[in-house]
Structure 1
Amino acid sequence: LETTVGGIPLPSCVYNASGPRTGASTALAKIAASKAGAVLTKSATIEKQTGNPQPRVWHSDDDIASMNSEGLPNSGIDYYLSKTTIDETMEGCTTTKPYLVSISGKTLADNLEMLDRIAKQINDGEKRIAGVELNLACPNVIGKPIIAYDFDQMRDILDTIAKKKYTFVLGLKLPPYLDSKHLQEAASIINEYSDMVRYVVCINTIGNALSIDPISEMPYISANNGLAGLSGPAAKFTALANVRQMRQQLKSEIDVIGVGGIQSGEDAFLFLLCGASAVQVGTCHWIEGPKCFDRIVDELQQILQKKGYSSASDCIGKL
């Protein structure tokens, strides 16, 4: 099940999505100790923040759909870069797996400041930070558009970052594109920066969803007038389409990571067929806990063996 993401070797092609159960080293350590192929932090902002008011998450009774409007609660970038946090996270890890940092600044200046801090930490000797996932897809910051839907802003951000000539591996977390022309436009912009952007992650939650409690006649989510990001199995089919089209549109040197509704080895296999080099698990991790990684990895292994694939890489893009 080994794979590479942006040139980073992973012992398994299944790992966690940024978000659920990733805010503190105690939670990250459980991911590191599992069969997950990497450890990805919560999306960090410059300062610690508590996020939106509760209730801000909801799961349907059948677990087909989940929603969240968390507002990026996190411990602040310096926490995720600290030697102590990384030590505590990786101490129970029995295999060599990468530690990846997700960031989601409120402004371009915030993102540049965090990227500078990451570069400094690596240059100062913290070589365990293998790469950075820049979140251009968060729909839960109230009053702000999703960056990756604003193509002029997206190009400006990538252009500014490119001038900094960072040496670490950089990936982009993207929102779902529901129009193929929009997806093609996003891919064409990313292709202009293929020497800098080494991978993309498709998809973040599907924004602008609403769940309502028929008893109280109120939204289940309190923030943002009840509007939230949709995740879980309900998002899988949109995610599969985005992964397949991104793989078709992007230059071959840019890897695609699939995320959205994965809760079984079969789900992971479908994303590999669509061209994903690896997959992330979010909502299922949220509901089931870190043991989901062991189960999904084992199930995927069995599917590959049953179908006669000698490795995960053999089935990538075979759809």
Structure 2
Amino acid sequence: MSTLATTIAGRRFSTCLMNAAGIRCQSARDLDALVASAAGTYVTKSATPNKRPGNPEPRMTTLPHGSFNSMGLPNNGLAYYLDYVLADQIKRPTATQFLSIAGTSLEDNLAMLHEIQASEYRGFVELNLSCPNVPGHPQTGYDFEQTAKTLDAVFAFYDKPLGVKLPPYFDLAHFDAIAAVLNQYPLTFVTTINSVGNGLVVNAETETVAIRPKGGFGGIGGASVKPTALANVRALSQRLKPEIAVVGVGGILNGRDAFEHILCGASMLQIGTQFGYEGTAVFKRIAQELDSIMALKGYNTIADFRGKLKTLD
């Protein structure tokens, strides 16, 4: 009998599947649906210190093999999500939640982390260093010096489990550089990848861009980004110290995609675009498909094949 259970920093999750921050997780109603689903846990919408409306509409469109958006971090503010996870801790004391934060400045992130540090929250924090869709704000994850400065400031006072959400990297030297930075800190996990930033979708009929924000530039997600996501999961899992788990996200539509992410080294999987299209039923379906693949291959746990991708001689 196979199991999809996984463990990160000693915390056990009944299944390795969860949502990705940004999709169907903004309201308490969204989060309640995730709690009631077959997902192993949930991550909240990436919070800013105060409620934020996000970018003007239209800010999202579909692609033949994925999604395209420039949402701009619409969210209900940190207090809303912190209240939710604290209440959930009381209702489900053995559960571990992921609370996502994405301040638009280092000062914002530090202020939010001070608030979380002072609270009774015991779960994981996912610090988003990779939102490509906020006009005027570069992705911290591409500035290795700024990433180190951020983590220096964070771990000067924050001692609860924390991970970072990273942008996609495209050069082997960049994998080496970001891993060298991250390995200096007591991180619990890294989430890789966020959407591939600053693509452009053109409507040939109207001869216009497809979305309003940033002159039409936006982030690419879904099946189109899976090869990039797998490369980042693989490269980081090979370079990061063993105590930093890799949470894989990008292009997971079915059980085979999930299997490939784990084979590349992921301990947990986040589903974004397909969850947006399919709703919470996606977790049960993909779990069943992944379980079938494992049974055919004779694997009883995901640890039996995690990170064991073979290369060709």
TM range (shorter): over 0.9
1:43–1:74 CA contact under 8 A, matched in 2: yes
2:179–2:236 CA contact under 8 A, matched in 1: yes
How much does 1:308 deviate?
Answer: 0.5
Q: Secondary structure at the match of 1:156?
A: helix
How much does 1:227 deviate?
Answer: 0.4
1:156 is matched with 149
2:197 is matched with 207
- For the residues of structure 1 that align with 2:24 and 2:89, how far apart are their CA atoms? 12
Q: 1:192 aligns with which of 184, 188, 213?
A: 184
Q: Secondary structure at the match of 1:152?
A: helix
- For the residues of structure 2 that align with 1:7 and 1:250, how far apart are their CA atoms? 18
1:146 is matched with 139
Q: Which moved more, 1:2-11 or 1:265-274?
A: 2-11
The correspondence of residues 31-180 of structure 1 with structure 2, limited to 5 A, is 31-60=34-63, 62=64, 64-83=65-84, 87=87, 97-122=95-120, 126-127=121-122, 130-164=123-157, 166-180=158-172
Deviations 1:10-47 (A, max 9, x none): 11001110011010110111111111111100000000
- For the residues of structure 2 that align with 1:160 and 1:89, how far apart are their CA atoms? 27
Matched, 1:10 2:13: yes
Deviations 1:103-144 (A, max 9, x none): 00111111011111111222xxx44xx110000001111111
2:89–2:95 CA contact under 8 A, matched in 1: no
Q: Secondary structure at the match of 2:33?
A: helix
Query: What RMSD, in angstroms, separates the aligned Cα atoms of the two structures?
Result: 1.6
Residues 276 and 313 (structure 1 numbering): CA distance in 2 closer, same or farther, change over 3 Å?
Answer: same
1:219 is matched with 209
Deviations 1:172-192 (A, max 9, x none): 000000111112100100011
The correspondence of residues 232-311 of structure 1 with structure 2, limited to 5 A, is 232-311=222-301
- For the residues of structure 1 that align with 2:68 and 2:6, how far apart are their CA atoms? 30
Deviations 1:245-290 (A, max 9, x none): 0011111111111000101111000000001111100000111111
How much does 1:234 deviate?
Answer: 0.1
1:316 is matched with 306
Letter aligned with residue 160 of structure 2: F
Number of aligned residues? 306
Q: Secondary structure at the match of 2:164?
A: strand
Letter aligned with residue 220 of structure 1: A
1:26–1:88 CA contact under 8 A, matched in 2: no
Letter aligned with residue 316 of structure 1: R
How much does 1:241 deviate?
Answer: 0.4
- For the residues of structure 1 that align with 2:289 and 2:89, how far apart are their CA atoms? 26
Moved segments of 4+, more than 3 Å: 85-91
Q: Secondary structure at the match of 2:170?
A: coil
Matched, 1:27 2:17: no
Using the size of structure 1 for normalisation, the TM-score is: 0.92
Letter aligned with residue 82 of structure 1: D
- For the residues of structure 2 that align with 1:36 and 1:289, how far apart are their CA atoms? 11
- For the residues of structure 2 that align with 1:4 and 1:133, how far apart are their CA atoms? 16
1:181 is matched with 173
2:125–2:162 CA contact under 8 A, matched in 1: yes
Residues 171 and 251 (structure 1 numbering): CA distance in 2 closer, same or farther, change over 3 Å?
Answer: same
How much does 1:167 deviate?
Answer: 2.5
- For the residues of structure 2 that align with 1:239 and 1:6, how far apart are their CA atoms? 23
Using the size of structure 2 for normalisation, the TM-score is: 0.94
Letter aligned with residue 35 of structure 2: A
Gaps spanning 5+ residues in structure 2: where?
none
1:25–1:89 CA contact under 8 A, matched in 2: no
- For the residues of structure 2 that align with 1:36 and 1:78, how far apart are their CA atoms? 24
User: How many percent identity over aligned positions?
Assistant: 44
2:5–2:12 CA contact under 8 A, matched in 1: yes
Letter aligned with residue 116 of structure 2: I
Letter aligned with residue 204 of structure 2: P
1:21–1:27 CA contact under 8 A, matched in 2: yes
- For the residues of structure 2 that align with 1:261 and 1:276, how far apart are their CA atoms? 14
- For the residues of structure 1 that align with 2:12 and 2:153, how far apart are their CA atoms? 28
